[in-house]
Amino acid sequence: MRTVWVELGEGAYPVEIGHGLLGRAGELLGPHLTGSKLLLVSDSQVAPLYMERAAAGLAGERCIVEPLVVPAGEGSKNLANFGLLLEALAARRFERGDAVVALGGGMISDLAGFAAASYHRGIAFAILPTTLLAMADASIGGKVAINLSQGKNLAGAFHQPKAVIADLETLRTLSTAQLIEGLAEIVKIGILYDAELFASIERDQASLLIPKLELFPAVVARAVELKARVVARDEREAGARVLLNLGHTFAHGLEAAGGYRRPTHGEAVLLGLIAAARLARNLDLLAERDQSRIELLAASLVHRCRPPAIDLERAAQAMLFDKKTAGGKLRFVLPRAIGRAEIRSDVPRSLASEALHSLQSLWS
């Protein structure tokens, strides 16, 4: 088992990465959760696979585990299910010392985490991620949220978990598309901070998609280490953490245009990375060789998913509602090289639109 700490002073917490950890969830979370009740939140796809194992691993003499299952899919990350979780916590008489545990992917950790942040003005929260995306990205950093009809993650909070327990055995049940969802974020963080991590995905992408589980401890731990460093420096996204939005201004517009069904978040991030690299190249910020490598890797992964054609004009309009808009101007994170990026608020809207619409070539 590998342990990576997210260093936030008194709020520091461990990310445990290894095999067979769901059955040890109570042992591993015990030092971090002190209440007598846990609301174990999952979705309709994950619950049949892992709810019983996780509940058994969490249960103990002093701990009552209350399960709650919502429908699978990004569409469940809404006001109705947020209210459902709050009502469940109140009806089951959860107190301030009790906790919410999210079992599943990023949708569940977002929804459950936002409920935990809101109930009694904040109760403890832990995550048992079951997807590569959640292990490498969504579970780290305390950003929790739900979607509104106007856009993605528009209602939310910063609420750090007490611990994250990533059982790599759960990756066995993921589809190729779900593995690509996670690899998208790992590719992104490689572009931002680690050329060697990026090169390892270039080299091993076929084996990672089998998946060869022996490759994942190092890949997941490195991605978590890199994100943890950023979160430790900028917990509430006031500065350096904004860089983690590389590709996401485009991606969130694409997701909104698809009604949060297709493209999936990972597909949209890969398309957003291509658009960001093309925009950076057009602004003479990025060398042609690095732009080509980013595009080749991202396109190779996204083409395996075959996302449907997207209404790019609708995506362009949705980008205007992005949370990263400041003073009416969109902020873009753009790569300067593989391993380095910067934030730009001076990008002409025409060039941003051109980069977005250039994605049409991927469906031609």
Helix-, strand-, coil-residue percentages of the chain, each rounded to 5: 55, 20, 25
Helices assigned H by DSSP within the chain:
25-29, 47-58, 79-91, 106-118, 132-133, 176-193, 195-208, 216-233, 248-257, 265-282, 288-305, 312-319, 349-357
CB atoms within 10 A of CB 58: 27
**Residue 46: Cβ within 10 Å count:** 23
**Which 3 state secondary structure label does DSSP give 69?**
strand
- Under a CB-based contact definition with an 8 Å cutoff, are residues 142 and 125 in contact? no
Residue type, 49: L
Is 265 known to be catalytic?
A: yes
Is 329 among the residues known to form the active site?
A: no
What angle, 0 to 180 degrees and rounded to 10, lies between the N-to-C axes of helices 349-357 and 312-319?
A: 140
Let me know if 37 is a catalytic residue: no
- Candidates 227, 278, 281, 324; catalytic one: 227
Greatest Cα pair distance, the chain, in angstroms, is 62
Map tokens 């979607």 to a residue. Answer: 147
Active site (annotated) includes residue 241: yes
Question: Among this protein's residues, is 331 annotated catalytic?
Answer: no
Catalytic residue among 16, 66, 181, 185: 185
* Among 53, 152, 241, 331, the one annotated catalytic: 241
Q: List the catalytic residue out of 265, 278, 293, 331.
A: 265
262 assigned to active site: no
One of 77, 143, 152, 222 is an active-site residue; which one? 143
Q: Is 237 a catalytic residue?
A: yes
Choosing from 147, 188, 245, 278, the catalytic residue is 245
- Of 159, 162, 248, 281, the active-site residue reads 248
CA separation, residue 299 to residues 10, 123, 133, 136, 267 (Å): 42, 41, 18, 20, 10
Asked whether 269 and 301 are in contact (CB, 8 A), the reply is: no
Provide the residue type at 262 as one letter: R
Would you call 162 a catalytic residue per the annotation?
A: no
The reply to whether 121 belongs to the active site is yes
Taking the CA atoms of 82, 69, 139 and 63 in sequence, report the sign of the dihedral they define.
Answer: positive
* Catalytic (active-site) positions: 121, 143, 185, 227, 237, 241, 245, 248, 252, 265
